[in-house]
């Protein structure tokens, strides 16, 4: 009998005791091609409720279920990273525990993967039932992110996606500590396909993305993918110095010649001096910024490139 392909499903959970079982039974109902076997990996992000005992219970009853528990609440992105490192197989799917990512999409994702996609991104269709604040803040975040990074991150991009083993090995080469997976996937290259889905309502419990967590994610995503804020000093510096030069021409050229009687001594030189010094300071800060950008990039230790293929002659002398 030919060996089955393994597709692991990574599910980060934080206080999802009621969703763990529900998601399990939904996943078990799926009609998956015979030659594929699903494995479930729950990542407990240090829940305070009975999430972990439920995962352990499931794992004892079904050998295709396993779990890892983190020592404290590291956040969704870190929990996903932990799951991706732990999961093996020919493909890995990441999805939320609350059933907002409909399990019924999984057969389509697998089909797309078998047709040759390295990554299958699931794009959330606009959801009119979401609170206005969440819709506005999310759209604002994606717009700012695109402006700052020039990466084409779709408004509805979610962390519901499939990686084949090649894309997964690429993702695991990104060693950074404050990871923003949606951004990393944009840097990955490889053959990526997108499918749309209609998000379901959260099954049990409340959102675990509190406002501070959302702000931290947005800040982390923007800072780790864009050096623009550090380069802003350059533009402010140029504006201040240009203003100083224009004011010199205005004050000493036009005003002294045309209205010499109105001149207040010292005023113009003060304005010019302050603008020039501020401008120079900003310019110097932007030079320091360039060094910090380089240190930051080195610290992130991102792969410089990912090799897609090699001819058979590589390595033979």
* CB of 142 vs Mg ion, minimal distance in Å: 17
Identity of the residue, 49 or 193, whose beta carbon is nearer to Mg ion in the bound complex: 49
Partners of residue 126 on adjacent β-strands: none
Q: Is 17 in the site for ligand UDP (CB under 6 A)?
A: no
Q: Is 159 in the site for Mg ion (CB under 5 A)?
A: no
How far from chain centre, in Å, is Cα 86?
A: 20
Backbone angles phi, psi at 101, to 5 degrees: -90, 105
Residue linked to tokens 């780790």: 224
Which residues 82-101 are close enough to bind Mg ion by CB under 5 A?
Answer: 96, 98, 100
Question: Which residue among 208, 218, 275, 286 contacts ligand UDP (CB under 6 A)?
Answer: 208
State the Cα–Cα distance between residues 38 and 65, nearest whole angstrom: 9
Sign of CA dihedral 191, 195, 201, 204: negative
Question: Which residue among 27, 97, 105, 188 contacts ligand UDP (CB under 6 A)?
Answer: 97
Which residues 99-158 are close enough to bind Mg ion by CB under 5 A?
Answer: 100
Neighbours of 275 (CB within 10 A): 20
Q: Is 301 in the site for ligand UDP (CB under 6 A)?
A: no
Please tell me what DSSP assigns to residue 6: E
Q: H/E/C letters for each residue in 70-115?
A: CCCCCCHHHHHHHHHHHCCCCEEEECCCCCCCCHHHHHHHHHHHHC
> How many amino acids of this chain bind Mg ion (CB under 5 A)?
3
What is the number of residues in the chain? Answer: 317
Question: Which residue among 9, 65, 79, 153 contacts ligand UDP (CB under 6 A)?
Answer: 79
Q: Is 16 in the site for ligand UDP (CB under 6 A)?
A: yes
Q: Is 19 in the site for Mg ion (CB under 5 A)?
A: no
Which residues 162-191 are close enough to bind ligand UDP by CB under 6 A?
Answer: none
Residue linked to tokens 């749309």: 196
Identity of the residue, 6 or 21, whose beta carbon is nearer to Mg ion in the bound complex: 21
Chain residues in the site for ligand UDP (CB under 6 A)? 12-14, 16, 45, 73, 75-76, 79, 96-98, 100, 207-209
């Amino acid at each position: 009998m030919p060996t089955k392909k393994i597709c692991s499903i990574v599910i980060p959970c934080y206080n999802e005791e009621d969703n763990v079982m529900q998601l399990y039974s939904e996943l078990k109902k799926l009609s998956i091609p015979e030659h594929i076997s699903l494995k479930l990996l729950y990542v407990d992000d240090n829940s305070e409720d009975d999430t972990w005992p439920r995962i352990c219970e499931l794992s004892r009853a079904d050998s295709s279920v396993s779990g890892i528990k983190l020592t404290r609440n590291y956040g969704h992105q870190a929990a996903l990273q932990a799951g991706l490192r732990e999961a093996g197989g020919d493909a890995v799917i990441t999805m939320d525990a609350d059933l907002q990512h409909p399990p019924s999409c999984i057969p389509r994702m697998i089909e797309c993967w078998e047709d040759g996609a390295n990554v299958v991104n699931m794009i959330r269709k606009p959801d009119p039932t979401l609170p206005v604040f969440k819709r506005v803040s999310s759209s604002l975040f994606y717009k700012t992110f695109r402006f700052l990074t020039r990466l084409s991150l779709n408004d509805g991009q979610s962390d519901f996606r499939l990686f084949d083993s090649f894309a997964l090995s690429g993702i695991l080469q990104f060693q950074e500590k404050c990871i923003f997976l949606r951004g990393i996937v944009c840097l990955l290259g490889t053959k990526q396909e997108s499918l749309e889905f209609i998000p379901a309502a959260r099954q049990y419990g409340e959102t675990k993305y509190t406002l501070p967590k959302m702000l931290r994610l947005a800040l982390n995503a923007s800072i780790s993918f864009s050096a623009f804020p550090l380069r802003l000093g350059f533009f402010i510096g140029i504006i201040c110095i240009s203003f100083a030069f224009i004011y010199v021409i205005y004050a000493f050229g036009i005003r002294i010649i045309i209205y010499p009687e109105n001149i207040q001594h010292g005023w113009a030189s003060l304005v010019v001096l302050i603008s020039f010094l501020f401008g120079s300071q900003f310019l110097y800060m932007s030079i320091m910024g360039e060094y910090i950008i380089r240190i930051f990039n080195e610290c992130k230790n991102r792969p410089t490139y990912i090799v897609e293929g090699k001819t058979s002659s590589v390595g033979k002398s």
